[in-house]
């Protein structure tokens, strides 16, 4: 039985992180050709090698998502290797935990550069190639903290809220131009980005306590949502937000 992404080329940022790697592995199993990117060259090349060993067609590239020049280079590499781009999954992200008064300018700028500017630059640079295929999908990774407040992580929350509305306005702009744009909003997910926090607080971590399922999710529980949005099964879905949070935002 053919995979759900056979014939599609997908570019994934943050591909060596928890959600990024789970998404890359699932996309590969479903038949996609992949462009896997991350800021860590060795890690992204290692991921590509493991995916290729399973039979996937993979291009690995180092990508600083805050760099317009780096984005242009990666999109050109994609065009030369595959001649098309069907899916852009903007997953790269960083977190800074302080609240409003404790957040530093350097901390704020770093989070905005990766989470917000990086998402915009990815769309801006990839959209000409995405539009050319006529049936493309952009998946932007926001967070439940782009929907509700937590009283902390001011810079992170600001950027994830921005990604949510950037997604919606892009969806309206490109709805008749062959590109769907949606956002995914994970809850507490056991990824390297927050693993130290989970190791320290365990099930007493405040957001886990507020989660009706009373546990953290796994990256493998986010990847299937990415797959749905990348596939043609979501052909009438754009400008929407998909929450995968164990019920955290249900109350």
Question: Does 47 reside within a domain?
Answer: yes
Tokens, residue 203:
């099930």
Yes or no: say if 31 and 7 are a contact pair by the CB < 8 Å rule.
yes
Question: Does 51 reside within a domain?
Answer: yes
Question: Does 165 reside within a domain?
Answer: yes
pLDDT at 1: 53
CATH code at 89?
Answer: 3.40.50.720
| Average pLDDT value for the chain | 96
pLDDT exceeds 90 at position 175: yes
Q: What is this structure's pTM?
A: 0.96
Q: How many independent structural domains does the chain possess?
A: 1
pLDDT band for position 181 (cuts 50, 70, 90): very high
pLDDT band for position 193 (cuts 50, 70, 90): confident
Question: Does 93 reside within a domain?
Answer: yes
pLDDT exceeds 90 at position 194: no
- Cite the active site residues: 156
Question: Does 33 reside within a domain?
Answer: yes
φ/ψ region of 29 (left if φ > 0, alpha if ψ in -120 to 50, else beta) reads alpha
Question: Does 42 reside within a domain?
Answer: yes
- Give percent above pLDDT 90 in the chain: 90
Give the mean model confidence (pLDDT) for residues 218-238.
Answer: 98
141 phi, psi to nearest 5 deg:
-95, 110
pLDDT band for position 106 (cuts 50, 70, 90): very high
pLDDT band for position 209 (cuts 50, 70, 90): confident
* Model confidence pLDDT, tens digit, residues 27-78: 999 999 999 999 999 999 999 999 999 999 999 999 999 999 999 999 999 9
pLDDT band for position 205 (cuts 50, 70, 90): confident
- Residues 6 or more apart whose Cβ sits within 8 Å of residue 25: 51, 223
Give the mean model confidence (pLDDT) for residues 139-159.
Answer: 97
pLDDT band for position 192 (cuts 50, 70, 90): confident
Question: Does 105 reside within a domain?
Answer: yes
Give the mean model confidence (pLDDT) for residues 236-249.
Answer: 98
Question: Does 201 reside within a domain?
Answer: no
The parent domain of residue 143 ranges over 9-193+219-243
């Amino acid at each position: 039985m053919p995979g759900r992404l056979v014939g599609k080329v997908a570019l994934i940022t943050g591909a060596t992180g928890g959600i990024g790697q789970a998404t890359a592995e699932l996309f590969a199993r479903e038949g996609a050709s992949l462009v896997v990117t991350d800021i860590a060259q060795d890690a992204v090349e290692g991921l590509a090698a493991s995916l290729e060993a399973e039979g996937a067609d993979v291009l690995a590239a180092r990508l600083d998502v805050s760099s317009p020049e780096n984005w242009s280079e990666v999109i050109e590499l994609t065009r030369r290797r595959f001649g098309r781009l069907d899916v852009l999954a903007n997953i790269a992200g960083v977190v800074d935990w302080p609240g409003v008064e404790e957040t530093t300018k350097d901390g704020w700028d770093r989070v905005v550069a990766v989470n917000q500017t990086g998402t915009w630059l990815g769309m801006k640079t990839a959209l000409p190639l995405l539009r050319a295929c006529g049936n493309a999908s952009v998946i932007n990774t926001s967070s439940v903290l782009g929907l509700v407040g937590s009283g902390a992580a001011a810079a992170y929350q600001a950027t994830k809220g921005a990604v949510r509305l950037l997604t919606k306005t892009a969806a309206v702009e490109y709805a008749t131009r062959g590109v769907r744009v949606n956002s995914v909003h994970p809850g507490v997910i056991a990824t390297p980005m927050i693993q130290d926090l989970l190791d320290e607080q365990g099930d007493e971590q405040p957001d886990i306590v507020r989660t009706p399922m009373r546990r953290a999710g796994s990256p493998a529980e986010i990847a299937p949502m990415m797959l749905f949005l990348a596939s043609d099964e979501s052909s009438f879905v754009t400008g929407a937000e998909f929450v995968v949070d164990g019920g955290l935002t249900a109350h």
